[in-house]
Amino acid sequence: MDQRNTLSEKSWAAIWKRAGKELEVIRRREIRCIDSGAVILSLGDAFESAVLYHPPAVSSGMIEMQRLFSRASDDTAATPFTPGTPNAEPALITPSKIALSDG
């Protein structure tokens, strides 16, 4: 029975190996034949719906990130990094140095 299962598994693997090659040919043919313009037009309503129910953020977060970096930089200003000094290491900004609230 074990030998039969092994043979069955090997034949199953061979079938899927062959099928995989044939499916790849089909996939490539479908990609070449697709009308990208029609697809984009058909997704227009979905895009409009997404914008309506999930409007874009007012900010990208860049200003907030710069504020946090500035605050962390102020915390490490007492120990500046001087390139070229022996065993010098830049001050690390760790999560504990970044306060996420304005307080």
Q: Do 97 and 76 contact (CB within 8 A), yes or no?
A: yes
Q: Lowest-confidence range among 4-13, 32-41, 48-57?
A: 4-13
Please tell me what DSSP assigns to residue 96. G
Q: Check if the beta carbon of residue 55 is closer than 8 Å to that of residue 47.
A: no
CA distance 31 to 54: 30
Average pLDDT of the segment spanning 29-36? 93
| Residue 20 tokens, joined | 């995989």
The reported pLDDT for the residue numbered 103 is 46
pLDDT tens across 44-91, in order? 999 999 989 988 778 788 888 888 888 887 766 555 556 666 555 555
Angle at the Cα of 58 (from 101 to 52), degrees rounded to 5?
130
Which pLDDT score, from 0 to 100, does residue 95 have? 58
Q: Is residue 23 over pLDDT 60?
A: yes
